[in-house]
Amino acid sequence: MKGGLQRSDLKQLLDTTGKEMELLLRRGAETRVREIGGSVHFRGLIEFSNICDKDCYYCGIRKSIPSVRRYNLTDGQILEAARFAHENRYGSLVLQSGEVESGSYTRRIENLVREIKKLSGGSLGITLSLGEQTREVYEKWFRAGAHRYLLRIETSSPELYRMFHPADGDHSQERRMECLHHLKTIGYQTGTGVMIGLPFQETYHLADDLLFMKEFDVDMVGMGPYIEHPETPLFRYRDKLIPPGERFSLALKMIATLRILMPDINIAAATALQALDPLGREKAIRVGANIIMPNITPGKYRNDYSLYENKPCMEEEPDESTGCSDLPVNLAEGEIGYGEWGDSIHFSRRKEHST
């Protein structure tokens, strides 16, 4: 990368502590406000099913955990949550689920995207986070009206990826990369992300993750700390983890550094931050993130979308029918861009340059 931050610079930033770290975090915050303004945008998050065909070693909804109560919201429940997001002027929502590839699943999502567009008069922006699919499937969902897609690469290191996933065709890093390329060429605002603080992960791996995001030229990023889950294979390495406080700081440093590296992208304050600090998402906003995804999944299902220990907002009872009690507490009203899509400025610039 000519003239920009190199791997060694990024590693150095991620290794900062004390006053130097404070300075980095302040730079992240200043860069956000200077480059994209002070607004924070909401994406109402609907985790509509925890049924998953994958077996990732870190994930609490991997297919081979028998104790997970599997659920699948009805279309009516999903549309009700979407109506809630619309009426409360969230601007956008995210549909997320475990990973399933089938004709009926494809048709269902296509139909839901159209219905959500209809019920909001076209005004709700839709992000999908539904894992790896074929190019044709991504095209169908794009034509139906979804315009952003979040597919975390989890780690850009082939070595770590192999360590954290079964060695079979269903868990190939190459396919995940290929999917990201499809999403970008179809025209989605394309998002990726990684887990921070995985066992055996060093800061140079994280520096490489940031370089990957820059080189791929992503429009949005959602990245957060890895949190151990007792019923997953990776739990056996819990004594190799950095302490939760340090993991949290590392996640904040990743956000601030990424903001400096890619000033005009959208960066989400990941829910997992809140598992380590009750004000985790608000703190992420204060160092460079600009997107928050309040959970609007009906309350009684939230316990079953348990990706990791201590996931926030699990016990909350639904407030009315949609269970939204997951609003960030420490943001000024004027900061929230109600009713706006809050699209990635990086995406619009990328499009302008390509035409």
Q: Which residues make up the interface to ligand SAM (CB under 6 A)?
A: 58-59, 61, 96, 98-99, 129, 131, 151-152, 154, 195, 226-227, 229, 272, 307-308
> Percentages helix, strand, coil for the chain, rounded to the nearest 5?
45, 15, 40
Q: Which is nearer to ligand SAM, 94 or 261 (CB)?
A: 94
> How many Å apart are CA 20 and CA 36, to the nearest integer?
24
138 three-state secondary structure: helix
Q: Which is nearer to ligand SAM, 131 or 342 (CB)?
A: 131
CB burial class (10 A; 0-12, 13-18, 19+) of residue 83? middle
Q: How far is the CB of 308 from ligand SAM (least distance, A)?
A: 4
CA atoms within 13 A on the CB side of 110: 14
Q: Which is nearer to ligand SAM, 204 or 237 (CB)?
A: 237
Tell me how far CA of residue 59 lies from CA of 30, 164, 308, in angstroms.
Answer: 34, 10, 7
> How many Å apart are CA 38 and CA 29, to the nearest integer?
9
Q: Which is nearer to ligand SAM, 97 or 257 (CB)?
A: 97
Q: Which is nearer to ligand SAM, 28 or 197 (CB)?
A: 197
Which two structure tokens, joined as six digits, stand for 84? 């809630």
Residues in the chain: 355
Q: Which is nearer to ligand SAM, 10 or 150 (CB)?
A: 150
Strands 92-97 and 195-196: unpaired
CA atoms within 13 A on the CB side of 218: 29
Is the sign of the CA dihedral 150, 156, 162, 168 positive or negative? positive
Q: How far is the CB of 350 from ligand SAM (least distance, A)?
A: 22
Q: Which is nearer to ligand SAM, 37 or 278 (CB)?
A: 278
Q: How far is the CB of 218 from ligand SAM (least distance, A)?
A: 14
Q: Which is nearer to ligand SAM, 191 or 342 (CB)?
A: 191
Under a CB-based contact definition with an 8 Å cutoff, are residues 221 and 288 in contact?
A: no
Q: How far is the CB of 98 from ligand SAM (least distance, A)?
A: 5
Q: How far is the CB of 158 from ligand SAM (least distance, A)?
A: 17
Q: How far is the CB of 248 from ligand SAM (least distance, A)?
A: 13
Dihedral class, residue 51 (left if φ above 0, else alpha if ψ from -120 to 50, else beta): beta
Q: How far is the CB of 30 from ligand SAM (least distance, A)?
A: 28
Tell me how far CA of residue 140 lies from CA of 49, 111, 157, 178, in angstroms.
Answer: 20, 10, 31, 17
> How many Å apart are CA 248 and CA 18, to the nearest integer?
14
Q: How far is the CB of 152 from ligand SAM (least distance, A)?
A: 4
